[in-house]
Chain A
Amino acid sequence: MLIIIISIMVIFLTQNASALTTEEMINLKKAGVSEDSIVWMVEHGYKDADKVLKLKKADFKDENIQAIIKSEAGHQSAKGISETRNDSFSAQADLKTPARIKIIWYRIFHDKPLLQNKETIDNARIAIAGKTLQITWPKREGMNPLNAFQKEPFESPFYWELNKNDILETGEEGYNYKLQTDLSHKGKPDMDDVHYWVIYLDPENSKLIEHIKQALGNK
Chain B
Amino acid sequence: MGRYNKLKLIVSCMVLAVGALFLMPSESHAMPNFARKYGADCSLCHTVVPRLNRFGYEFRAAGYRDPGEIGEQDTEDFKLSNYFAGRIQEQYQYNNHNAASSGTDTTSSQLTFKEFTMYPLTGSWGKYFGSLSEISMAPDESPEIENAYFRMVYPLGENWIQGRVGIMHSFEGFGASDRPIGNNRTLFQTTTATGSPFKIWSKDESGVEVGFYSPKMGTTISANVWNGINSAGDAASGGSLTKDSTEPAYNDKDFQVFVNQFITDNAALSFYYYYGVVPFPATGTQTKDKYQRFAFYGNFYPIKEKLNLIGGYEFGKDSLNNSTVVTGGSNVGDNNGFFAGAEYFVSEKNAFAVRYDNFDPSDEVGHNTVNAINLSYNISATHGLQFITDYQHKETDLTAGGTNKDDTVLARVIFIW
Residues in A lying within 8 Å of B, measured CB to CB = 1, 5, 105, 107, 109-110, 112, 114-118, 146, 149-151, 153, 193-194
Contacts and interface: CB of A to CB of B under 8 A. Distances in A.
Interface string B52-67: 0111000000000010
Interface in B360-397: 382-385
Contact of A109 (B54, B383, B384): B54
Interface string B25-64: 1010000000110111101100000000111000000000
Interface string B390-417: 0000000000000000000000000001
B240 to A, nearest CB: 22
A149 B384 contact: yes
B44 A114 contact: yes
A91 to B, nearest CB: 30
A118 B41 contact: yes
Interface of B: 25, 27, 35-36, 38-41, 43-44, 53-55, 66, 68, 86, 116, 215, 265, 382-385, 417
A146 B25 CA distance: 10
Given A107-B44, A115-B44, A149 B265 contact: no
Given A5-B86, A153-B39, A117 B44 contact: yes
A117 B41 contact: yes
A7 B337 CA distance: 48
B interface: dominant SS? mixed
Contact of B44 (A112, A116, A151): A116
Nearest to B417: A149
A116 B384 contact: no
Contact of A1 (B25, B27, B116, B417): B116
Contacts of A107: 44, 55
A153 B38 CA distance: 10
Contact of A150 (B44, B54, B383): B383
B45 to A, nearest CB: 10
Nearest to B415: A149
Contacts, number: 44
A51 B3 CA distance: 64
B116 A153 contact: no
Nearest to A146: B382
Given A5-B86, A117-B39, A146-B25, A110 B265 contact: yes
A117 B265 contact: no
Contacts of B54: 109-110
Given A109-B54, A110-B54, A117-B39, 4 more contacts: A116-B40, A117-B40, A153-B39, A153-B41
A115 B44 CA distance: 6
A39 B13 CA distance: 44
Nearest to B88: A5
Contacts of B265: 110, 112
Listed from nearest, the 7 A-B pairs whose CB atoms lie closest are A149-B383, A117-B41, A146-B382, A150-B383, A109-B55, A115-B43, A116-B40
Nearest to A153: B39
A114 B68 CA distance: 15
Residue among B53, B215, B265 with most chain A CB within 10 A? B265
A116 B39 CA distance: 8
Nearest to A104: B41
A51 to B, nearest CB: 32
Contact of B383 (A115, A117, A146): A146
Contacts of B417: 149
A34 to B, nearest CB: 31
23 contacts: A5-B86, A105-B39, A107-B44, A109-B55, A110-B215, A110-B265, A112-B265, A115-B43, A116-B39, A116-B40, A116-B41, A117-B44, A118-B41, A146-B25, A146-B383, A149-B417, A150-B27, A150-B382, A150-B383, A151-B35, A153-B41, A193-B68, A194-B68
A103 to B, nearest CB: 12
A116 B38 contact: yes
A112 B304 CA distance: 14
A153 B53 CA distance: 21
Nearest to A110: B265
B41 A115 contact: yes
A193 B36 CA distance: 21
Contact of B55 (A114, A117, A118, A153): A114
A1 B39 CA distance: 28
A81 to B, nearest CB: 19
A17 to B, nearest CB: 17
A109 to B, nearest CB: 5
A117 B25 CA distance: 16
A193 B67 CA distance: 13
A151 B55 CA distance: 22
A149 B39 CA distance: 14
Query: A107, A109, A193: which has the most chain B beta carbons within 10 Å?
Result: A109
B226 to A, nearest CB: 31
A107 B35 CA distance: 14
A105 B116 CA distance: 33
A109 B53 CA distance: 11
Nearest to B118: A1
A117 B40 CA distance: 5
B22 to A, nearest CB: 15
Contacts of A193: 68
B161 to A, nearest CB: 20
A189 B25 CA distance: 27
Nearest to A148: B383
Contacts of A151: 35-36
A190 to B, nearest CB: 11
A7 to B, nearest CB: 13
